[in-house]
Amino acid sequence: MLIFSAFIIALVITVALIPPLMRVADRLSVLDTPNERKVHTGAIPRVGGMAMVVGACIPLLLWLPHTNTMNAFIVSLLVLLFFGAWDDSKDLDYRIKFLGQFLAVGIIVFWGDVQLAVLPFAGIDPVPVWVSLPVTVVFLVGVTNAVNLSDGLDGLAAGVSLLSLGAVSLLAQLAGGESIIVACFIVAGVIFGFLRYNTYPARIFMGDTGSQFLGFTLGVLAVILTQHVNTALNPLLPLFLVGLPVLDTLFVMGKRISEGRSPFAADKNHLHHRLLSLGMAHYEAVSVIYLSQLAFLVLAFMLRYQSDTVVLLSYLGLTGGLLAILLWLQGRGVSAGGWGQLTEKIAMSAGGERARDVAIAIIRCGVLAYLLMGAFLVSAVPRDIAFSSIVLFFILMVRLLWSARLRFLSLRLLVFPAMAFAVYLMHRDGPLTDLLPSYAYAILITALLLLMFIAIRSTKDPVFQTTPTDLLVVSLAGGVGVLYQQGMVEASLVPIVLGMVVLFYAGELVMRHMTAAWNCFTVGILGLLALLAVKGW
């Protein structure tokens, strides 16, 4: 439960900090105003990164050992927070930005001893310090800027970073790197908290504070993974783990230099700009970039123990292939505008408000009955889950009693953990799983998915739409299934993950169509939390 607790705490802190920061964004002068390079049309607060850094630092201090590396990492994040917030407010000269980045990197390299000591094509022995230090500094500053420069669409940098963190945590899990796994889940928690407000159309941006935080964190974790946790991993793997942002940055800077311009000059040559110029909708461009980053991560996993030559040629082949496809599409003047129209036609095919209302009513009652029955029949509830259920019960009660004043406290943050507790306990309880065989569970999940499809697609009301964030969740859940097929995770984990994902979407659908805070669904969740608390105490 350590990883789960760290993830939830990071998510809750981030979500709790964002609304008050949004209210003071104007006074702090941290608003992103539109210009010829931006794709948004109104002023949007750039406060997400501040909440993300704080949301990560607190659980990092609580759950990870205070080694020199961890202390240096925290201090480096605070340095990036200071310079990032300054930049988001004043639009600093790039030389001052570099000063903050080099300062943060210097702290983690010299104090935290995070270095690229084993380099590609240099053998298995560490290279001299006078070689490793500058290479590490250039790499970390480069990755920090790569993610920063790639942050051009709602949810783009956050989603790409989340996928990379999933790959880093997987590779760390195979090598027993518990601290790396916890750190990845903490940062994943702040990303999910941020995406709550940043999914298109975004209400906030992460700003340079957030994008530099994500790039720096990915770079540091990738170096620690390959140089300390599992030295058998190919040292070129960090290129794959931050594959698309690095490709985007090198491509854009190379084009600027070839045109005789400064590599730091602003333009609209980034990959996301080019995808939009093909006629793609915002969510389509983001989804294509997510899928491209997944290709890098799959290759990273498959080639993790291959030779330097094989890994480098594979990286060059993939990057060259992606760029060739993009440039060919642009050269031929191909338009992707029809893709979104096709999906809209499919979305409207079911038709009928009544079908939606009936489906949602069945989902609401069915999900509650399933969770309450499971909580009632489960044989034992651990003390930590019982205590968490008590805390959630009272917070949810307060949220429902003063719903008008506490709208900033998301109901989802209180409902989803309760559902997760119930699903986890039901699938870990031997006698209970015997009552519901696997084929019956599969039938229930399939029926729920069918009802959700009917509810979502049988109305023109855009209150519940699929977004690129859904692709992230499905990709992470699918990754668990792949790992199960490879024998890398226990079989019991698969139905837990699938059940949580499906039930979370079902709960989201129900809550999106609530007309009042007090209703049978929220009262049922209160009953579920009370039942778990009583049975575990």
Tokens of 392: 């959630």
Q: Could you tell me which of 199, 187, 146, 179 has the C-alpha nearest to residue 472?
A: 199
pLDDT value, residue 467: 59
Asked whether 417 and 8 are in contact (CB, 8 A), the reply is yes
DSSP letter for 16, please: H
Q: Could you tell me which of 54, 52, 385 has the C-alpha nearest to residue 198?
A: 52
Residues 6+ apart with CB under 8 A from 260: none
Asked whether 147 and 211 are in contact (CB, 8 A), the reply is yes
pTM: 0.74
Q: How many degrees, rounded to 5, is the angle at CA 354 between CA 351 and CA 360?
A: 100
Digit-by-digit pLDDT tens for the chain (537 residues) are 567 778 888 888 898 888 888 888 888 778 776 655 555 455 788 888 999 999 999 999 988 989 999 999 999 999 999 999 998 888 888 889 999 999 999 999 999 999 998 998 887 788 899 999 999 999 999 999 888 887 777 778 888 898 899 899 889 988 888 899 999 999 998 998 888 787 767 788 888 899 999 999 999 999 999 999 988 899 999 989 888 888 888 888 887 788 777 777 666 777 877 887 777 777 778 878 888 888 898 888 888 999 999 999 999 999 889 888 888 877 766 554 444 444 444 444 444 567 778 888 899 999 999 899 888 888 888 887 888 889 889 888 988 888 777 766 677 778 888 888 888 888 777 666 667 666 677 788 778 877 877 776 665 544 445 556 665 666 666 565 555 555 555 555 666 777 777 787 788 788 888 888 888 899 999 999 999 999 887
The whole-angstrom separation of Cα 147 and Cα 80 is: 14
pLDDT value, residue 439: 66
Q: How far is CA 277 from CA 17, 156, 159, 199, 201, in A?
A: 35, 17, 21, 21, 19
DSSP letter for 491, please: T
DSSP-derived 3-state class of residue 31 = strand
Q: What are phi and psi of 32, to 5 degrees?
A: -95, 110
The whole-angstrom separation of Cα 102 and Cα 137 is: 7
pLDDT value, residue 183: 94
The whole-angstrom separation of Cα 120 and Cα 309 is: 9
pLDDT value, residue 345: 47
Ramachandran assignment for 352, one of left (phi > 0), alpha (psi -120 to 50 degrees), beta (any other): left
Query: Could you tell me the maximum CA-CA distance found in the chain, to the nearest angstrom?
Result: 71
How far is the first Cα of the chain from the last one, in angstroms, to the nearest whole number? 18
The whole-angstrom separation of Cα 438 and Cα 29 is: 55
The whole-angstrom separation of Cα 351 and Cα 420 is: 32
The whole-angstrom separation of Cα 378 and Cα 382 is: 11
Residues 6+ apart with CB under 8 A from 193: 10, 11, 12, 13, 14, 15, 18, 51, 52, 55
DSSP string for 118-173: S-TTS-SSPPPHHHHHHHHHHHHHHHHHHHHHH--STTHHHHHHHHHHHHHHHHHH
Residue with tokens 């999106």: 512
Asked whether 385 and 421 are in contact (CB, 8 A), the reply is yes
Q: Could you tell me which of 4, 13, 290 has the C-alpha nearest to residue 158?
A: 290
